[in-house]
Amino acid sequence: MTPDRPHEFPSLGDSHILLTGATGFLGQATLEKLLSAHPGVRVSVLIRPRGGTSAQRRFDGLLRKPVFRTMRERIGEDELRRIAAERVDVIEGDLGEVTLPSDIDVVIHGASTVSFDPPIDEAFRTNVSGVVTLYEALHKAGADPHVVHVSTAYVAGVRKGVVPEARLDHGVDWRTELAEALAAHADVERDSRRPEVLRKSMARAQGEHRKAGPQSVVAAAEEARQAWVGERLVDYGRARAQSLGWPDVYTFTKALGERAAEELWGERRLSIVRPAIVESSLRHPYPGWIDGYKMADPLIIAYGRGVLPEFPGLPDSVVDIIPVDLVVNATIAVAATPPERGTPGYFHVGSGSRNPLSFRGLYENVRDYFRRHPMPAGERGHIRVPQWRFPGSRQVEMMLSGSERATSAAERALLRLPASAKTREWMTAVHRQQTNLDFLRRYSDLYQAYTKAEVIYDDSRTHALHETVPADRIDEHGFDPSVIDWEHYLQEVHSPSVTELMRGFSRGRGGGRKSADPVLPERTDVAAVFDLEGTIIASNLIESYLWARLSSMPRSQWSGELADLARSLPRYLRAERRDRGDFVRAFLRRYEGADIAELRALVKDVLGEAVLQRVMPEAVRRIRAHRAAGHKTILITGTIDVFVEPLSTLFDEVVASRMHERDGRLTGYLDTPPLVDEARAAWLRRHAADTGLDLSQSYAYADSYSDRPLLEAVGNPNAVNPDPSLYRHAKRKHWRIQEWGAHTRGRGDVLIDTVGARSAR
């Protein structure tokens, strides 16, 4: 029977329903409604294990989720579990791996990828191959159910005007497209290994990661190649979809999934449900229920955070939003109304036909909501949302491209500056701007086809089915979008729901204030590893040398030594940019001929005090806190061991450079290669293996990008006063960033006095 005219409201009775995609947004809502409002129904859910968690445990987790909150409160958690145990069978695995029950009456097939721009092979594997596998499994089981295939209204593609509830009008061969899409991965992988692609990846990796060591360069180059593969496959999908009239690979593959369903099951009983943009619930299970962010939500949150100054879209285009509970009610009503064999039924579930919401209307409601309930801006108060003027896609693109070029140039300039609090402040601003621009670029590319749509999805058949719902059951089972009051829904239901998580995060961060260091757990199998220069003491290798050199000569000779050092600085800087080890080797040559006994006496009598004056109090407190917690404290530095002796009592182990001696004098060469960049991480891993340290729970503190491998070797990395490159990396990885010793770095006058007093003796 097809709902061309009102008829008796259908019932699922004691049907056995197979539900795919039960862990997804729409699947959760459907499962909850079947259990709460259709007591005679039995449900089989197909769930794959994930990350060592069985399908049954994943299902048990579903029962604890917010979607079942109202039901748990009404009947109790024990009763909910009893009902689930009696009425739900969990089938573990994928469709191609399991045998389905033969007594299935209805299939609600909602499993799919919901990303708009996945790699082409991934999109086809889920949205097309998954459909094929379903019907193969049903044939194999000998089942003859009514299949409700959940698609999307946007399978109609890029067009204008009214789209009927009917079979799609296109001649694309889904079998050919599927075969080519699956073959694309091998083609792109092969292309990614071409010399010109690999050389480009290596050159970029060398430029960005050379200071971190050769293996970091290799790893970065391989990551770049893999990213190239992913981006290329995404581009394959987008280009192929758009060449055939769909905005993205998601809608393209959903359209081909429909065609596969029609060919493989169309001679039996098949219904295709096409929801529009599914968002939070209007009424059931409670107003505003949502699981994760859906299509419109990232834009709403970004606008509330003030990062969307404009967005491409037509102010009068229809944004076809439909609450999830109306989609569920329509889907269940369709499931209970099987069509005649060989005549598939098509149903649009949206709001655009009967209760249209314009893009400008969406914007104005969201704007009014955030004006009344602004997002917190930390110590700056609250965020003021921007005023959109809808200048058009071309103007938005010009603004976006110009901002991207300016931000990229600013970042390149900042990466060349020395580390300082001001540099990090500028890097923070650039990082924030880049993040916002990346967001705007991604979503403007993805969504402008939907915010510029001039299409209406006819829902006559769906509305006729709704008309069969008795008046006293409409609140529970109806799905007429005309009941939606957009101002109430967007300002009182949906926006509060999708911003709740972000507001909680802002409150958890203390309104933007810096959080205190976490409490250290007491453990004896944990290490706390510290770099020295720039991390514990506010000095560097060059400054240590000057302390020693100037203190051994009269003030009258200082200018000559300083001039010679200045002439050599460009060479040292080139070595530093090339490789930290090259710099250490080159600079330590200046110690050639130094009397080791005199140097040790100098450090003991004078320079030890200078070193201690440059120690950052925060570093000492942190080292002592680790020792108090039973952690093994380790100092790793390229500075020669003589200069580290005043700090040795702070650490359980000190690893420093040792210089070669001959006849009591330094030769200017090292005894062994310096422990820099990857060598530090390698030493730490070997030491941990030998001593039983748990690096996943250990800590590291360093200031230079050359220490990135060391920081990545532990579970708790801390970037201390980081240089611009490390700061950028730490922000991307969400590492803790420490600002230590601001009041320690200006003690040059004290050091000069100390060294001057020594040289005057």
Residues of the chain with pLDDT > 90, as a percent, come to: 54
Does residue 248 share a domain with residue 222? no
For residues 442-468, average pLDDT:
85
Is 521 part of a structural domain of the chain?
Answer: no
Concatenating the DSSP letter of every residue in 402-459 gives HHHHHHHHHHHHHHTSPP-HHHHHHHHHHHHHHHHHHHHHHHHHHHHHHHT-EEEE--
Peptide bond into 285 cis (omega under 30): yes
* 419 dihedral zone (left: phi>0; alpha: psi -120 to 50; beta): beta
Q: Read off the DSSP letter of residue 100.
A: P
SS3 assignment, position 676? coil
CATH number for the domain that contains residue 625: 3.40.50.1000
CB count in 10 Å sphere of residue 709: 24
Distance from C-alpha of 735 to C-alpha of 713, rounded to nearest angstrom: 13
Distance from C-alpha of 671 to C-alpha of 669, rounded to nearest angstrom: 7
480-519 residue pLDDT tens: 999 999 999 999 999 999 888 777 655 544 443 445 677 8
Domain total in the chain: 3
Does residue 753 share a domain with residue 682? yes
CB count in 10 Å sphere of residue 87: 15
For residues 164-180, average pLDDT:
96
pLDDT tier, 553 (very low <50, low <70, confident <90, very high otherwise): low
C-beta of residue 520 within 8 angstroms of C-beta of residue 631: yes
* Residue at a domain's end among 473, 508, 543: 508
Better-predicted residue by pLDDT, 178 or 443: 178
At 749, list the tokens: 């006058």
Does residue 434 share a domain with residue 305? yes
**Displacement of CA 358 from its chain's centroid (Å):** 30
For residues 612-633, average pLDDT:
90
pLDDT at 6: 39
CB hemisphere CA count around 154 (13 angstroms): 26
Provide the domain limits for residue 644. 527-759
C-beta of residue 270 within 8 angstroms of C-beta of residue 149: yes
Does residue 429 share a domain with residue 452? yes
* Residue at a domain's end among 227, 243, 259: 243
At 387, list the tokens: 């005023």
Better-predicted residue by pLDDT, 213 or 181: 181
SS3 assignment, position 516? coil
Does residue 492 share a domain with residue 468? yes
Distance from C-alpha of 93 to C-alpha of 78, rounded to nearest angstrom: 27
pLDDT tier, 579 (very low <50, low <70, confident <90, very high otherwise): low
Is 518 part of a structural domain of the chain?
Answer: no
Q: Read off the DSSP letter of residue 125.
A: I
Is 522 part of a structural domain of the chain?
Answer: no
Is 520 part of a structural domain of the chain?
Answer: no
Does residue 236 share a domain with residue 278? no
CATH number for the domain that contains residue 379: 3.40.50.720
C-beta of residue 237 within 8 angstroms of C-beta of residue 249: yes
Better-predicted residue by pLDDT, 335 or 552: 335
Is 192 part of a structural domain of the chain?
Answer: yes
703-744 residue pLDDT tens: 988 899 999 999 999 999 998 889 989 998 999 999 898 655
pLDDT tier, 540 (very low <50, low <70, confident <90, very high otherwise): low
For residues 135-149, average pLDDT:
95
CB count in 10 Å sphere of residue 379: 9
**Displacement of CA 339 from its chain's centroid (Å):** 43
Distance from C-alpha of 674 to C-alpha of 581, rounded to nearest angstrom: 6
Better-predicted residue by pLDDT, 658 or 62: 62
pLDDT tier, 51 (very low <50, low <70, confident <90, very high otherwise): confident
Q: Which of 696, 734, 694 is nearest to 718 (CA)?
A: 734
Does residue 684 share a domain with residue 540? yes
Q: What is the mean pLDDT of the chain?
A: 85
Helices (H), 193-248: 195-209, 214-243
Q: Which of 610, 555, 605, 554 is nearest to 748 (CA)?
A: 610
Residues of the chain with pLDDT > 70, as a percent, come to: 86
The answer to pTM > 0.75 is: yes
pLDDT value at 361 more than 80: yes
Is 1 part of a structural domain of the chain?
Answer: no
C-beta contacts of 731-736 below 8 A and 24+ residues apart: 731/427, 731/428, 731/431, 735/711
* Residue at a domain's end among 481, 508, 535: 508
Sheet holding 736-738, edge to edge: 653-657, 632-640, 527-530, 699-702, 716-720, 736-738
At 177, list the tokens: 């497209």
Does residue 436 share a domain with residue 447? yes
Distance from C-alpha of 311 to C-alpha of 389, rounded to nearest angstrom: 9
Q: Which of 338, 343, 362 is nearest to 279 (CA)?
A: 362
At 733, list the tokens: 């990885």
Does residue 731 share a domain with residue 587? yes
pLDDT tier, 22 (very low <50, low <70, confident <90, very high otherwise): very high
Of the segments 95-99, 257-261, 412-416, which one has the largest average pLDDT value? 257-261
For residues 545-553, average pLDDT:
55
Is 282 part of a structural domain of the chain?
Answer: yes
Is 191 part of a structural domain of the chain?
Answer: yes
pLDDT value at 187 more than 70: yes
Does residue 132 share a domain with residue 204? no
For residues 320-342, average pLDDT:
96
C-beta of residue 486 within 8 angstroms of C-beta of residue 377: no
Element (H, E) at 160: strand 160-163
Does residue 533 share a domain with residue 675? yes
Does residue 197 share a domain with residue 165? no
